[in-house]
Amino acid sequence: MGLFRYILASRAVYALLWFYLSPLLPAMSRDLHVAEAQLGFLPAAFIAGAAAAQIPASVLGSKIGDVKAAGIGLFLLGLGSALTAASPTWGAALALRAVAGVGAGLFFSTAGAALVALRPGEAGRALGLYNASFNIGAFLGYYWGYVAGPLGWRAAAAIPGAVAAAMALPLIAQGGFRHGAKPTASALWLGLASFPLWGAVYAANSLAASWLHYYRGLPASEAGAITSASMLSGLLGGSLGSVYDKARDKRAVFLYSAALSAAAMAALPYLPAAAAPLLVFAYGAAYTVYITAIYAEGSKRGSPSSALAVINVVDMALGLNISYIFSFAMAANPPSAWEIDAGLALASALATSALIRDRKAAERRSGPAGI
């Protein structure tokens, strides 16, 4: 297997370790004697670790090479996940999940930058496949409870972690793809433009199953399966990464993909429950096209690793707050949660379109580089 494909396979395992504990949480809570209200701290610890490691990942990649840095991240992610399975207390589980998050943060931007370096003329396609691999692993994660059934939650949690740690070793042995660590201002602006849609989709993927269960009366298992359609649709969105590479009008890619996400979200609370799988699939695919284009646009401006790190840390730091807004809106007026999400998606559509328009105008005024 070539390095390009190996990184994509590693990305799928990485994504599995993001989501696979979600269906295991009820069993963890019983075993570790944790109140249900405290379960949300586990994914929060993971995200906190991942966000904290984004910028250090870029610096590490500039020193030792992106592939080696990604391997170290994957090893920490796998080790932290495997040890979480052996946690004797809830506090230990939180600490080890944060360690796993640090590993995830070290992997994301450096592995993505390595793919761009391997396919310099096809950044959109490379990052589209990168996102598609994420969706494969995430989709499996939603159903990991079926593995825990016969094995128990500890074995089900430990095995993928051990696999990730083992897969990291060939990457750690690699070198190459060093880069400058200084981020550009354009990456910050792309993060600010994209965080509303990033946060809207993160909130929807996290809470749509609860919304469908409480306000459409669907069984929890069926509601969870419908939510997984967002990850399944990401396979289509990821394969369309080359749309960005080939499009003459880059603004159109951002505008139409974000607008399609907004339309699907706005329609979901007003159409019959039977339409929910199609609408979830639509906003998931459109979002993946959009975020792939964001990453590809950022990777063209300065260091790809630094750009991806800055975009991701802005998306995480600001976008995570939208989950709280969604949950409060859902309780107060169920349709309003989706209306807010749709409005945020439109905000990203307009902000990104304006950002690309202004950049093109500035380039026309200044002329080609060197003139």
The CATH number of 182-371 is: 1.20.1250.20
The span from the CA of 366 to the CA of 371, in Å, is 8
How does DSSP classify residue 89?
Answer: S
- Indicate the Cα dihedral angle 100, 105, 107, 113, nearest 10°: 170
Amino acid making up residue 138: A
How does DSSP classify residue 219?
Answer: -
Q: Residue 27: its pLDDT value, please?
A: 85
- Neighbour tally for 220: CB within 10 Å: 12
- The residues of the chain scoring below 50 in pLDDT are 368-371
Among 265, 275, 260, 263, which Cα is nearest to 216's?
Answer: 275
> What HEC string does 108-133 produce?
HHHHHHHHHHHCCCCHHHHHHHHHHH
Asked if 23 and 143 touch (Cβ cutoff 8 Å), the reply is yes
Amino acid making up residue 252: A
Q: Which residues contact 35 (CB under 8 A, 6 or more apart)?
A: 29
User: What does R_g of the chain's alpha carbons equal in angstroms?
Assistant: 20
List the Cα angle 185/187/191 in 5-degree steps.
Answer: 120
- Terminal-to-terminal C-alpha distance of the chain: 44
Token pair, residue 184, equals 């550009």
Q: Residue 19: its pLDDT value, please?
A: 82
Amino acid making up residue 318: L
The span from the CA of 226 to the CA of 213, in Å, is 11
The span from the CA of 203 to the CA of 219, in Å, is 20
DSSP helix/strand/coil, 368: coil
The CATH number of 1-181 is: 1.20.1250.20
Longest Cα–Cα distance in the chain: 68
The span from the CA of 367 to the CA of 63, in Å, is 34
The span from the CA of 73 to the CA of 164, in Å, is 10
Asked if 192 and 314 touch (Cβ cutoff 8 Å), the reply is yes
Looking at the chain, which residues constitute the CATH 1.20.1250.20 domain(s)? 1-181, 182-371
Q: How many residues would you count in the chain?
A: 371
Asked if 112 and 127 touch (Cβ cutoff 8 Å), the reply is yes
pLDDT tens per residue, range 243-278: 777 778 888 899 999 999 999 999 999 999 999 999
Asked if 119 and 4 touch (Cβ cutoff 8 Å), the reply is yes
Instruction: Check: pTM over 0.95? Answer yes or no.
Output: no
